[in-house]
Amino acid sequence: MTVFFDSSALVKRYIEEDGREQVIAFFEEADAIGVSVICFPELISAFCRMQREGDLDKDQYERIKGEMIVDFEDLSIYSITRQARECATRLLETNTLRGMDALHIGCAIEWHADIFVSGDKRQITAAQNEGLEVVEV
């Protein structure tokens, strides 16, 4: 089973939030886990914001960043190909999505993910409309 995570879902691997158990289970059960190339900087951005807002201290941030660096060595990181870009464009023209959310879906489709994992309702709807099997966390 191949599982593709968007940033809203993958963040739950590192932060205690609803859905974390499902994310951990996918990491244990999947044959391959994919993410788009934009996922790492999106997560770092989220964790930096959490640190600025006082939800993470410096030590927590550094621990999480270290865990991410190790994890990303084992993930399939999907680049934004012409096909993924074209899919994202079509998604943006037919759905109410943010640009990065459309790119995650485009990459998941091009990677031929068995399951797309997200925590974003609009993104979930668009991914389902594209025929992806979606798990909401």
SS (H, E, C) 80-123: CCHHHHHHHHHHHHHCCCCHHHHHHHHHHHHHCCCEEEECCHHH
Domain count along the chain: 1
pLDDT digits (tens, 9 = 90+) for 61-119: 999 999 999 999 999 999 999 999 999 999 999 999 999 999 999 999 999 999 999 99
Buried b (16+ CB within 10 A) or exposed e, 110-126: bbebebbbbbbeebbeb
pLDDT of residue 67: 97
For 39, the domain range is 2-136
What is the distance between the alpha carbons of residues 36 and 52, in angstroms, rounded to a whole number?
A: 25
With CA atoms as reference, report the closest residue to 50 among 17, 77, 20, 19.
Answer: 17
Other CB atoms within 10 A of residue 74 CB: 9
What is the distance between the alpha carbons of residues 65 and 103, in angstroms, rounded to a whole number?
A: 23
What is the distance between the alpha carbons of residues 63 and 94, in angstroms, rounded to a whole number?
A: 40
49: which 2 tokens?
A: 């914001």
In CATH, what number is assigned to the domain containing residue 27? 3.40.50.1010
pTM for the model stands at 0.95
pLDDT digits (tens, 9 = 90+) for 21-62: 999 999 999 999 999 999 999 999 999 999 999 999 999 999
pLDDT of residue 129: 95
- Pairing outcome for strands 134-136 and 2-5: unpaired
